[in-house]
Structure 1
């Protein structure tokens, strides 16, 4: 059901919108974890390292797609908040055209550059073949990733955060089943995990499409909604590209860091991979509140309610910091058993290295949560430049850390790179948000 975020208690609206989204994100993370668990337990440390070594490349492309579709959806949210349904449908039609074009270009570029980039990242020879096999299949499935994210972002922009959840649950269960069938029954190795991810995303996207066509008259498009208008398309690019590049710039920093990590060998890569999966699970509320604020701010800007944007950000900051403290406690208290989901208990060095990473992350989690709120609030009100620059600041911070800290303090330097990057982005985002809000007064 579509949900109007321009009236009612901001705290209640943020929570009721966020909870289904959070559950969906957790399920999405669970099926990502299922890949890692099944690969790590069934295929061993080297296979786990092979999948983990592709994380930066995957983030580079998939993050770009997520940012692009989220940016396009800001205009959908603004038109919905302004009760301009004709403009909303035009926005969806334009977004579809731009997504098709982007999918074709990105798929070709990704497949052509995957092997050179893996070599550039110092991927160890013993895992190179599996890493390339896994990431190429993920890149073949870019069309499925784009399709699902576009449908999910459109539904969330009109306030429906529940429907993507339901289909994501179905997708998560399907992914786990396919993982087991492809890896255990068909002996497909890491390729089986990759195909399971691609197929499950395709299914969730198709389900979202059929539901939307049946349920929402406001989203039933006609031929004229797909009429290309360069000025209107440029409005979408102006919001979508900075958000997409923000993810990609951040991902470049991750790639550089991955290159530094790869020099430590497959055991450290496996430890880092397992710890990152644990981290991603407990940090889902941060990303969830971020998506909520983008759509909340977009709808309220469209309705001319800047006062509600300010109040919503204040309430969201309080909520996200509470979740950050809880997440830090989970990492510190349960980091080791959670790591044990991914690797055999006999891998002592993997456990020790993973715990170092999780301890460092736990200390800095509040900065990450604040970063998401300010970044997405700015994007929701159409200010995309500083969120993009914040990604640049993250890139610079990660790059400096990658080239300096590991030589001084070893693996701990790798662990500190992310938190330092969060601080480098969160501070200018907070300053810019408050300056921007004053301009609206």
Structure 2
């Protein structure tokens, strides 16, 4: 299809959508709909993120600094599991939103049913593989011997619940894809609050230590999954599962993985970054490795909580843009991207100011150990110098996923983490020592966002040149 034919087809789709689609995501002001979508998701993610944050506080204060180092050391493995689950859920959601935007609910139901079965199967297989090979993975991560026992005690219960985690992730993503983020919020709210309660009970009352933190996560996940199943089977205008559609569909799975792969690259990139950072710390600062691993773990936990609003905005952008792209509203797709970048950058600017100039405000919640707080503060003051640019980079990748363009989304995600950041973490310390690990982050942020903005501007200018 020529570019002129593409423009004419899009204009025709916009006219049809204007007449036939009264859905608020397709007709109400972009900023209003973006905020309405983003707020429940952000609240849900923030509350859900509190369990990781509180988990770290309870482990550090209730068990000890070495226990925190153990949990931080296996966090990359946990993030890998989360990455694959997020890939399947996000890819499915992008497809469902586009079909619902075009009014094709039957196909949306088919995608949902097949994706649920696929996610459960992948979760079970992944859990088995990681459980069997976990000690080999510990060696690859170069985990210090004193951390191994607690690290394994934390990881094993979470691996055992992976099937439920994958199923729950698929259900909550289906709520969001259908424009019902409030149901997603309910599920995540229940899981997070119960996790905090179980954490306090198992660590401080029963004195179960690190295993108590893991089993608190498991029980909270089971309860939140039960609520997700209940919500899926009640209420009006739900996506439906039928026995006829509950089967493997290679074409659907290929689309899901293709569109979700950029999310996998983003999440797993976080896991690989932690793993490579731990490896680099062990190599370039062997005498202080445990202290710096603990400090980096605290910085990461603090960052994750403050990063979640930005993640919620990317999820809202994906839903809003995918709905409008499915209906043919290309101009609204562009407006969605611009709105998300502006609002997201306001948030990342605030986070950067806090984590660069006043990180102690958060870090002192974890521990009274001044040596650990000082080490973590020094890391934070460098690592987050370039975080102000993160919103633009993430939104550019997300918009390509929303419109079904997996390759550009994948390239943008892989460029920042795998082509720039990871090699830099391993190479800069040869020039700057341990400080080179931390300077890798802001340098990568600036280069990565420049590439993302230039590429996205070029793509939309040439592929969707529409004047309204």
Normalization by structure 2: what TM-score? 0.88
Q: Confirm or deny that 1:208 pairs with 2:228.
A: yes
Structure 2 counterpart of 1:434, from 427, 443, 457 = 457
* Pair 1:392 & 2:414 matched: yes
Moved over 4 A (4+): none
Query: Which residues of structure 2 form unaligned runs of 5+?
Result: 1-22
Deviates more, 1:371-380 or 1:179-188: 179-188
Alignment pair present for 1:368 and 2:390: yes
For residues 275-354 of structure 1, the aligned pairs below 5 Å read 275-343=299-367, 345=368, 347-354=369-376
Matches within 5 A, 1:70-219: 70-219=90-239
The answer to whether the 8 Å contact 1:367/1:422 transfers is yes
Work out which of the residue numbers 235, 241, 252 in structure 2 matches 1:221.
Answer: 241
Post-superposition CA distance 1:403-441 (Å, at most 9, x none)? 222343333322233334444543333333223323133
| Residues 279 and 358, structure 1, Cα contact 8 Å, conserved in 2 | no
Give the match for residue 357 of structure 1: 379
Structure 2 CA distance for aligned equivalents of residues 89 and 317 of structure 1: 32
Cα distance, 1:33 vs structure 2: 0.8
SS of the aligned residue for 2:27 comes to coil
1:163–1:150 distance in 2 versus 1, CA, 3 Å: same
Task: Identify which range, 369-378 or 234-243, moves more after superposition.
Answer: 234-243
Q: Distance in 2 between matches of 1:113 and 1:421?
A: 32
Worse-superposed segment, 326-335 or 291-300:
326-335
Tell me, which stretches of 5 or more residues in structure 1 are unaligned?
none
* Aligned mates of 1:143, 1:70 — CA distance in 2: 17
- For residues 72 and 354 of structure 1, the distance between their equivalents in structure 2, rounded to whole angstroms, comes to 38
What is aligned with 1:59? 79
TM superposition shift of 1:273: 0.8
User: For 1:282-327, what per-residue CA distance to the aligned partner results, in whole angstroms no more than 9, with x for missing partners?
Assistant: 2222211111111111111111111100011111111111111111
Number of the residue aligned with 2:43: 23
Normalized against structure 1, the TM-score is what?
A: 0.93
In structure 2, C-alpha distance between the alignment counterparts of 1:188 and 1:98, rounded to whole Å? 35
Partner deviation per Cα, 1:242-290 (whole Å, 9 max, x = no partner):
5434533553343222211244421111111111111122222221111
The CA distance in 2 between the partners of 1:252 and 1:424, in whole Å, is 19
Cα distance in structure 2, aligned partners of 1:228 and 1:54: 32
Structure 1 match to 2:291: 267
Specify whether residues 101 and 167 from structure 1 end up closer, same or farther in structure 2 by C-alpha distance, changes over 3 A only: closer
Q: Deviations over 1:149-206 (max 9, x none)?
A: 1111111111111122123222111101111111223222111111111221222122
Q: Distance in 2 between matches of 1:206 and 1:284?
A: 24
Which deviates more, 374-383 or 329-338? 329-338
1:225: how far off? 2.4
Q: What does residue 378 of structure 1 align with?
A: 400
Q: How far does residue 240 in structure 1 lie from its aligned partner after superposition?
A: 3.0
Measure how far apart 1:14 and its partner are: 0.7
Asked which structure has the greater CA Rg, the reply is 2
Q: Secondary structure at the match of 1:74?
A: helix
> Cα deviation per residue 1:32-87 (whole Å; 9 max; x = unaligned)?
11110000001111001111111222212211211221111111111111111111
What residue in structure 1 maps to residue 6 of structure 2?
none
Secondary structure of 1:214's aligned partner = coil
Determine helix, strand or coil for the equivalent of 1:5.
Answer: helix
How many pairs align? 438
Change in CA separation of 1:227 and 1:122 when aligned onto 2, cut-off 3 Å: closer
Q: Quick one: which of 80, 89, 93 aligns to 1:69?
A: 89
Shift of 1:395: 1.9
Q: Is the 8 Å Cα contact of residues 253 and 396 (structure 1) preserved in structure 2?
A: no
| 1:350-380: CA deviation from partner (whole Å, max 9, x where unpaired) | 1111111221233211222212211111100
Once the 2 structures are TM-superposed, how far is the Cα of residue 331 of structure 1 from its aligned partner? Answer: 2.1
Q: 1:254 to 1:221 in 2, by over 3 A?
A: same
